[in-house]
A and B are shown apart, each in its own frame.
Chain A
């Protein structure tokens, strides 16, 4: 059972809850990978997605997760909805809530939106990314990918590289992974490192990509939003790739069985080199599959009273 009505982030959930989600997701993955993708875990239930920011994989992933469990869904198109007529986020949420929706998946560019409004709706809110704050299901799918490749999270060394400052994926991973005992190494240009990041649990700031990646169990690149360059936070994509990016040579410094992760979509030859994206150590596509499984698990656990399947 999850303690809270909503999944807003990994900051506020326990190690046990994270492990429960991951175990449930492992079961769900069998459904995703089977020829007959039917399961009863969300039958008679409904999900709505409300994405104020663009998304390809996360939104589709939730929709597939809902379908594979026999639920119905509606994806609100923010661009053509009354949101465009100036309706507030809370009013929109209340409207969707009144349709009888069991789960509302929300993404917004402002941090804290799901936290502020979740108490005002009956539906279970899943945070699919709020500003720079959290993106819990992304971190959970990263953790599932790690779990399936390693025996334990304890003392696992994970390098997270690039634009940490604006990354909700990095924050959710730090909260989640640190609760499971992993150590997180951070590296990126000073302009893309947030203040006080070293005070987050189990975080160490490194002084080079090499130091961060050396003997790591996993290397995680983060998407560099192209607008960061326009705002002058980095001088050029070329320099960023050279000094802060990951190629096969850098990856070879990690442990032999280390894996490469990226939340996607990848800017090839920016945070990751063109070829390293498709190398054998890359689990980027596996992450997408795991994403569906993790979202099935979260939706199921939030709406079901049963503790185990």
Chain B
């Protein structure tokens, strides 16, 4: 099976070039201008960009246990619609991904679904209860790419120390949801003017920053590597920037909503804007953009957190935290980072594909001869309006609904298979 993609602007990690691209049996075999090879299918990509498929290392697929929110099938289908060809799925399922049976189940389901690739993240501690380590080495052998207790922090500093110490020797990536729950103290939104005028319990920035500082200081003292998830505050960016300067082996990610929205979105108790960490203020939003520009934050992930409609259509305190982000991530990233001149397209590709793969130790050379054909074709000029009712994900929970964004995914290939084609609606 051969597919020839003609006349596209290929976005590499370091440059953009107009060329044709030939896929043979799932592998990229030629990248040259004016290819005249015979192919089973020819795709015209004139005026469109071809990216290496995005790799989202922070996704909640919810299965097993919460299939009413999302299934591995619906989540990976949403992924390819967003140009994402691989996701790392978080272990806060039921049962928790802390054993080989649950892990095998996820891999099998992903295989059956046949959309985006799935790299399971298993829990750092058994049951994510913060007390005993999971069998991390065995789980790695069986397909876990990284470890995280995401959804909540590892409660004690000692447990985090042990996890970083144990994983260091084998270079197991540890992805930290850093948060000091004492400081969070039941908060539901960012602590500031908006929490005050709506009478909602606030989460001070210190909650996240103390958590991040803890992980970094422990990692620094052990010489271990640590990855910080979903950075949302100005102070966090400063802490991570300083740690990198000191040579600490820390990587960090942020999500589209932290550099495009502020806590003004919670007005009138809008539960769609309820997310953890919470949407912050303008100064944080700008600091996140700066952190992306200067390399402090080198990974863009979604923290895709789908929920059933009834988990959002309720009083704010009871509403679930989270945003269904797979289908808007690229467009938000492109609209708010590239169109605003903060980064260019190759850098965006680096932040959405190359760097996340590095964090989870998955080789990825992007678009290159001999590589697997995980690619996505995007029309950057297309302006579209987010309509959550058209989401493929079961989770329609998004604060971006109704917003105008640029950049629409036209087609996505995983291992050379066309997994998504946009249909005009």
Q: Using a CB–CB distance below 8 Å, which chain A residues touch chain B?
A: 11, 88-90, 108, 110-113, 115-117, 130-134, 168, 171, 194-197, 199-200
Contact = CB atoms under 8 A, between A and B. Distances in A.
B359 to A, nearest CB: 34
Interface residues of B, number: 20
Nearest to B266: A112
8 nearest interchain CB pairs?
A133-B199, A196-B193, A132-B199, A112-B269, A111-B199, A194-B196, A110-B317, A112-B316
A110 B316 contact: yes
B200 interface: yes
A171 B200 contact: no
B399 interface: no
Contacts of B315: 89, 108, 110, 112-113, 116-117
A168 B314 contact: no
29 contacts: A89-B315, A108-B315, A110-B317, A110-B318, A111-B198, A111-B269, A111-B317, A112-B199, A112-B269, A113-B315, A115-B268, A115-B269, A116-B314, A116-B316, A117-B315, A131-B199, A131-B200, A132-B199, A132-B200, A132-B201, A133-B200, A168-B199, A194-B195, A195-B192, A195-B195, A195-B202, A196-B192, A196-B193, A200-B197
A296 to B, nearest CB: 26
Contacts of B268: 115
B286 to A, nearest CB: 18
Contact of A197 (B194, B196, B204, B316): B196
Interface of B: 191-202, 204, 268-269, 314-318
B197 A171 contact: yes
Contact of A133 (B193, B198, B314): B198
A198 to B, nearest CB: 9
Contacts, number: 66
A112 B193 contact: no
Interface of chain B: mostly helix, strand, loop or mixed: helix
A194 B314 CA distance: 25
Nearest to B202: A195
B194 to A, nearest CB: 8
A161 B316 CA distance: 28
Contacts of A113: 315
A170 B146 CA distance: 49
Contacts of B191: 195
Nearest to A134: B199
Contacts of B199: 111-112, 130-134, 168, 171
Contact of A195 (B196, B314, B317, B318): B196
A131 B189 CA distance: 15
A171 B318 CA distance: 22
B196 A200 contact: yes
Residue among A90, A134, A195 with most chain B CB within 10 A: A195
A117 B200 CA distance: 17
A132 B191 CA distance: 14
Nearest to A200: B197
A134 B199 CA distance: 8
B197 A11 contact: yes
B285 to A, nearest CB: 17
A89 B192 CA distance: 28
Nearest to A172: B199
A107 to B, nearest CB: 13
A246 B176 CA distance: 48
Contacts of B198: 111-112, 133
Residue among A116, A130, A131 with most chain B CB within 10 A: A116
Contacts of B269: 111-112, 115-116
B319 to A, nearest CB: 9
